[in-house]
Structure 1
Amino acid sequence: MANATRVCLTIPPKVQSAGLGPDIFRNESDDDIAAANYKWYNYSLPRLELQITLIFVVTQFFHFFLKRLGLPLLTSQLIAGLTLSHAILHDKSEVMWTEESIQVLGTIATFGYSFFLFLMGVKMDPGMIFTANKRTISIALLSVIAPLICAVPIILLSFDPITEQVPKVQTIFLSSYFAMTSFPVITLLLSELKILNSELGRLALSSAITADVFSLFMLIGGTLLRVWIQSGVNAALNEFMYVMAFFAFVFLVLRPAMLMVIRYIPEGKPMYETCIYVIILIFLVCVFLSRLFNITVIAPYILGLAIPHGPPLGSALVEKFERMINNLFLPVFVTSCGLRLKTLDFGFGDTSMKVKVALAVVCPFVKLIACFLPSYLTKMPIKDALALAFLMSSKGIIDLGLFTALYDLNVCYNKRSLMHWKPYSELPIVSVIHVPDNVNSVINLLEATCPTKENPMIVNVLHLIKLSGQANPIFISHQKKRRTNFTNSYSENLILSFDKFEGNNWGAVSVNAFTAVSPPNLMHDDICTLALDKLASLIILPFHRRWYIDGSIESDEDYIRTLNTRVLEKAPCSIGIFVDRGNMKRPAMPVDSPPDQLPSYKIAMIFLGGSDDREAFTLAKRMAQDTRVVLTIVHLTPENEGSPHHEDWNAMIDNEMLREVKNNGYVSYMEKAVADGPETAIIVHSMVNEFDLIIVGRRYNMESPQTSGLQQWSEFPEMGVLGDILASVDHGGKCSVLVVQQQETVTRSRNRTIDFFS
């Protein structure tokens, strides 16, 4: 007992202080004198608040510099924990981080980590396992099994049965940790890199979820093995019964009950608040019982897996709690892990530490090779295979720099625009749908393009849905007739509407339907990837604002506006943003009806000059090949135009294109000279009630005398000057607008794709 330490505890513990100021009404009793000597920061609540504040300040300080190197917030949180630990501050750390306060902070951190695992389980779609292909399964299994096999010789060769310097159970669990692939870690890393719904990201997610389920069963088996070795067969059997009872309750009682409740929720309606509170109560009880029966790690995750992902239940849980967990509790957990470091002397001379270092080197390297070989042998490009291997081997931050350097996020494309497409050949188009109102709008616009058997088109319809309540994005091709876990009545109605459009234009229109569920900030990747794979020449995007019949605003979605801007920057082909005023609806008639019975369209194209205007002109001219279209070209020229010999190359191309229609009988051509932007605005306003559709070029940031003085008044700068005028609500007209931009980013061909659906 000579080394015993006496510790005095205050019972009950002092949680909240009396404040910073002196208490002038305090009586001078012994208790009050003791309370007066008990400083405010010795109370648990003020100390906890101060610790959390300090954690966030130090974390943000490091992240301010590290984010410029492309490192995630997790790195800054770990460094903040190490900086505030006893290993760095030594005795000074005891001023803030006492043993009692660390226990309180650890409780908060453990709760946050358990809740984080629960939410990641909610967002996970186990159905992806059943759609995995051979490449995915081989990558997943080899990435887990190969490191374990290579770890066994190291453990056996290093173990001394006499001195027992290397505990078998500890080293086995350490090798299992290096072998495991964590689906939440891969998901967060892909989100940090903004490639969650890219081709490589989808393959990584599919492999990670398969490996994670395999690792989960391996972890359960390892836990039972540890209990068997340490406590005997009876204890292991009891542990096994606890685990089986938990699985039975979660998947045979809780999940069917939740599915039954969901059936009574109308589609599109929010989940009952009572159900959410009951699930949180079950989660808290689950965490308590899991600690009681020693299955702490897996219980919250398994419970989350049992909850149906997506709307209405999964998305409601994620929307309510994810921001709080990720921004408050999870940073505390990560930083508290760094705080546990007591010394920088790791004892590398010890045999046990040598074995751990050997496992830390060998297992990740073997895992890297095990992920790379199946990818490379299935004819994946070597850079993509290496990037996938580093990603699957990552524990959150280790291989982030290598992965970012290897994976090219800014792939450029061949030139694909309307001007470069062959006449009288199939025109491939990608049409984006967000809400039900977009369906009729897009169909009406496609009708206006007047497809014929001599002038056909291929329409690739992409239904975009916000990713909500699940971690993995989904991309569904409705042509493959393959069963999926995703059902959405609106997608079914969308398919029926476009099938009818295809039937009304049989032989002139071919429709392919797709559904993509992804985060709003990554939806542009789905659009660009589909346009690239389908060799599209035009992407049609709905405008972010919609109006009622009386002209009042019905909805204004900022995320759609941001999406359109990103597509304009990165699209592999030309883009058209369609502003629908509801005036283009025509009765559906067969394509072989007599010409005099077909509905007509009055379309105008305003031409100022430049690549975007030439692209818009090409689309308008293609429309005019059909007798149903009455096309008018309005060419606005500056009053003080220079002499012809001062024309640049763009002006020469413009004049050559216009020469085709100046004396053409099926197109009306008007040329008007304008002095400045206000005069152009007057002409544009005068046209809105005369036409069904006006087509303009975007001409973003292009200066010209015809638009001078208008840019500073733009409400929608991404639409260009003329597009902004026509999209604004103050002109009082009901003319629909199509703003066209020619493809911008062109440097080299992308000659490879990863087919992870095969």
Structure 2
Amino acid sequence: MLACAYIPRHVSGYLSLISAWSGCPNATLNPYVAHLVELPKKKKSKLMYHQLEDGDQYRDEEEYGGNDVVQITKALDSFISETKIPVHEAKIVSSFLTINQDVCNGAVDLRVSIIFLPFHKHQRVDGKMENSMEGIRTINQKVIRHAPCSVGIFLDRGQTGFQQPHGSLSVQNIATFFSGGPDDREALACSKRILMHSQVSLTVFRFIQANSSIQNSWISDASHKGEEVVMAISSIGTENEMDNVFVDTFYNRYVAQGKASLIEKYVSDGAETLVALREILDNRYSLVIVGKGGRENSSLTIGMSDWEECPELGLVGDLLASSEMNFNGSLLVINNGTPRKMRPSSLHRQ
């Protein structure tokens, strides 16, 4: 994975995700944390490197990240020492107009499966959301369009959100929302990786059209793991078939084995979906994982686009990121990526 941070505040949330993803003993994790630094806007020197006066290089390095570099490195060193999880540190120095290209090319070079990007807003002490760096939003949108892999936009809500599970005595409750489509399937795939951690409890909520022909014969609760699971394949189309197969496989491997829970929510429209979301969030979830796209023109989200502010999060993700939902947990919105050919990267490994 490649986690991109602009400031030290972005790093702590990423380290919590890395800690959770490292809980699977049968799959090796190779995480990178890249510090994205805006190239200072100044007149380029005509002097060659060997012509610089003493101290010039040092002053440039200070501008390329400044004290943030020290704080990020210190946070990574502390995490590695505490958890014994190796994390590679990198830096990307580029203009904000082209830094998205360096991120995507770096992902190609490192062969990462997912890129994590910070949300452009952060939560204030009073719970309201406030813009941190507006330029981040444009970069996020560009990376999503051109990424060679999946992309996750992460909104870390600090102390009220997802915490590092490694070494923790308490179990954190995580929810994943699934309504169908490639983004939701990728979100569920990410959730499967996290649930392997012993200090994580995962509940998947599947939203189904109330008058849908999909009828599953299994009961959505981990306590009924001994019951027979019958896969129902819808005749509506290929997407429905893929969704059902994906969920059925998840049920067989995890829910039926008591490792996760799966709950169905039957809704008719966006209003009922909103009510269901509020009921779910009344419970304490430190992290919610959701796919960006879901189903296009789905009746499950009719009317929800009326208050959409951040389309890059999708309809559900946009709601969960707003202050109106009274949700204090962290949010991870997953975009399923398509491999693309990129040019060589300028990613600097450290």
TM-score bracket for this pair, using the shorter chain length: 0.7 to 0.9
- 2: distance between equivalents of 1:549 and 1:649? 46
Aligned to 1:442: 14
How many residues are aligned here?
A: 309
Deviation at 1:720, TM superposition (A): 0.4
- 1: distance between equivalents of 2:123 and 2:234? 47
Q: Which region of structure 1 is more displaced relative to structure 2, 555-564 or 602-611?
A: 555-564
- 2: distance between equivalents of 1:563 and 1:634? 31
Aligned to 2:238: 649
- 1: distance between equivalents of 2:99 and 2:22? 29
- 2: distance between equivalents of 1:626 and 1:675? 35
Deviation at 1:600, TM superposition (A): 1.9
Give the aligned residue type for 1:631: L
Aligned to 2:177: 606
Secondary structure at 2:97 match in 1: helix
Relative contact order, CA 8 A, sep 6+: which one is greater? Answer: 2
The unaligned stretches of length 5 or more in structure 2 are 45-56, 215-232
Matched, 1:715 2:309: yes
Is the CA contact (8 Å cut-off) linking 1:571 and 1:743 kept in structure 2? yes
Deviation at 1:435, TM superposition (A): 1.7
Q: Where do 1:377-416 residues align within 5 Å?
A: none
Aligned to 1:680: 273
Is the CA contact (8 Å cut-off) linking 2:155 and 2:331 kept in structure 1? yes
- The Cα offsets for residues 105-138 of structure 1, whole Å up to 9 and x where unpaired, read as xxxxxxxxxxxxxxxxxxxxxxxxxxxxxxxxxx
Give the aligned residue type for 2:272: E
Deviation at 1:492, TM superposition (A): 1.9
Aligned to 1:699: 293
Deviation at 1:571, TM superposition (A): 0.6
Is the CA contact (8 Å cut-off) linking 1:688 and 1:735 kept in structure 2? no
- The Cα offsets for residues 658-704 of structure 1, whole Å up to 9 and x where unpaired, read as 11333341110101110001111111122234211110000078221
Give the aligned residue type for 1:522: T
Q: TM-score, normalised by structure 1?
A: 0.39
- 1: distance between equivalents of 2:347 and 2:141? 28
- 1: distance between equivalents of 2:165 and 2:185? 31
Aligned to 1:584: 161
- 2: distance between equivalents of 1:709 and 1:452? 40
- 1: distance between equivalents of 2:261 and 2:131? 36
Give the aligned residue type for 1:548: R
Deviation at 1:588, TM superposition (A): 7.6
Matched, 1:640 2:211: yes
Aligned to 1:382: none
- 2: distance between equivalents of 1:613 and 1:577? 14
Secondary structure at 1:469 match in 2: coil
Deviation at 1:544, TM superposition (A): 0.3
Aligned to 1:727: 321
- 1: distance between equivalents of 2:95 and 2:319? 31
Give the aligned residue type for 2:203: T
Deviation at 1:449, TM superposition (A): 2.8
- 1: distance between equivalents of 2:152 and 2:347? 30
Secondary structure at 1:520 match in 2: coil
- 1: distance between equivalents of 2:321 and 2:164? 25
Per the alignment, do residues 708 and 471 of structure 1 end up closer, same or farther by CA in structure 2, a change over 3 Å counting? Answer: farther
Is the CA contact (8 Å cut-off) linking 1:541 and 1:564 kept in structure 2? yes
Aligned to 2:81: 503
Give the aligned residue type for 1:660: T
Aligned to 1:659: 248
Give the aligned residue type for 1:526: D
Per the alignment, do residues 452 and 544 of structure 1 end up closer, same or farther by CA in structure 2, a change over 3 Å counting? Answer: same
Secondary structure at 2:98 match in 1: helix
Per the alignment, do residues 651 and 740 of structure 1 end up closer, same or farther by CA in structure 2, a change over 3 Å counting? Answer: same
- The Cα offsets for residues 13-40 of structure 1, whole Å up to 9 and x where unpaired, read as xxxxxxxxxxxxxxxxxxxxxxxxxxxx
Secondary structure at 1:666 match in 2: coil
Secondary structure at 2:324 match in 1: helix
Secondary structure at 1:457 match in 2: coil
Is the CA contact (8 Å cut-off) linking 1:661 and 1:667 kept in structure 2? no
Aligned to 1:519: 95
Is the CA contact (8 Å cut-off) linking 1:688 and 1:734 kept in structure 2? no
- 2: distance between equivalents of 1:756 and 1:519? 13
Aligned to 1:741: 335
Is the CA contact (8 Å cut-off) linking 2:165 and 2:199 kept in structure 1? no
Per the alignment, do residues 679 and 645 of structure 1 end up closer, same or farther by CA in structure 2, a change over 3 Å counting? Answer: closer
Deviation at 1:713, TM superposition (A): 2.0
Deviation at 1:559, TM superposition (A): 0.7
- 2: distance between equivalents of 1:471 and 1:745? 37
Is the CA contact (8 Å cut-off) linking 1:700 and 1:719 kept in structure 2? no
Secondary structure at 2:180 match in 1: coil
Matched, 1:486 2:61: yes
Is the CA contact (8 Å cut-off) linking 1:504 and 1:588 kept in structure 2? no
Per the alignment, do residues 608 and 518 of structure 1 end up closer, same or farther by CA in structure 2, a change over 3 Å counting? Answer: same
- The Cα offsets for residues 577-600 of structure 1, whole Å up to 9 and x where unpaired, read as 01112223647855xxxxxx6442
Deviation at 1:645, TM superposition (A): 5.2
- 2: distance between equivalents of 1:587 and 1:625? 14
Aligned to 2:36: 464
- 2: distance between equivalents of 1:588 and 1:669? 22
- 2: distance between equivalents of 1:444 and 1:570? 26
Give the aligned residue type for 2:101: D
- The Cα offsets for residues 130-185 of structure 1, whole Å up to 9 and x where unpaired, read as xxxxxxxxxxxxxxxxxxxxxxxxxxxxxxxxxxxxxxxxxxxxxxxxxxxxxxxx
Secondary structure at 2:212 match in 1: coil
- The Cα offsets for residues 511-553 of structure 1, whole Å up to 9 and x where unpaired, read as 1212222221211012111111100101011100011232133
Aligned to 1:630: 201
Is the CA contact (8 Å cut-off) linking 2:20 and 2:166 kept in structure 1? no
Deviation at 1:471, TM superposition (A): 5.8
- 1: distance between equivalents of 2:73 and 2:207? 41
Secondary structure at 2:126 match in 1: coil
Deviation at 1:440, TM superposition (A): 1.4
- The Cα offsets for residues 168-217 of structure 1, whole Å up to 9 and x where unpaired, read as xxxxxxxxxxxxxxxxxxxxxxxxxxxxxxxxxxxxxxxxxxxxxxxxxx
Is the CA contact (8 Å cut-off) linking 1:444 and 1:584 kept in structure 2? no
Secondary structure at 1:703 match in 2: coil
Secondary structure at 1:458 match in 2: coil
Deviation at 1:486, TM superposition (A): 1.4
- 2: distance between equivalents of 1:445 and 1:572? 21
- 2: distance between equivalents of 1:737 and 1:756? 27
Is the CA contact (8 Å cut-off) linking 1:451 and 1:457 kept in structure 2? no
Secondary structure at 1:739 match in 2: strand
Deviation at 1:445, TM superposition (A): 2.6
Q: Where do 1:4-23 residues align within 5 Å?
A: none
- 2: distance between equivalents of 1:677 and 1:620? 24
Q: Where do 1:217-228 residues align within 5 Å?
A: none
Per the alignment, do residues 615 and 470 of structure 1 end up closer, same or farther by CA in structure 2, a change over 3 Å counting? Answer: same
Q: In percent, how many aligned pairs have the same letter?
A: 29
Is the CA contact (8 Å cut-off) linking 1:465 and 1:515 kept in structure 2? yes
- 2: distance between equivalents of 1:710 and 1:753? 41
Is the CA contact (8 Å cut-off) linking 2:293 and 2:335 kept in structure 1? yes
Per the alignment, do residues 452 and 500 of structure 1 end up closer, same or farther by CA in structure 2, a change over 3 Å counting? Answer: farther
Corresponding residue to 1:547 among 114, 123, 128: 123
Is the CA contact (8 Å cut-off) linking 2:23 and 2:198 kept in structure 1? no
Per the alignment, do residues 529 and 447 of structure 1 end up closer, same or farther by CA in structure 2, a change over 3 Å counting? Answer: same
- The Cα offsets for residues 587-615 of structure 1, whole Å up to 9 and x where unpaired, read as 7855xxxxxx6442211110001110110
Corresponding residue to 2:112 among 536, 541, 554: 536
- 2: distance between equivalents of 1:756 and 1:431? 13
Per the alignment, do residues 753 and 500 of structure 1 end up closer, same or farther by CA in structure 2, a change over 3 Å counting? Answer: same
Q: Which region of structure 1 is more displaced relative to structure 2, 525-534 or 640-649?
A: 640-649
Q: TM-score, normalised by structure 2?
A: 0.81
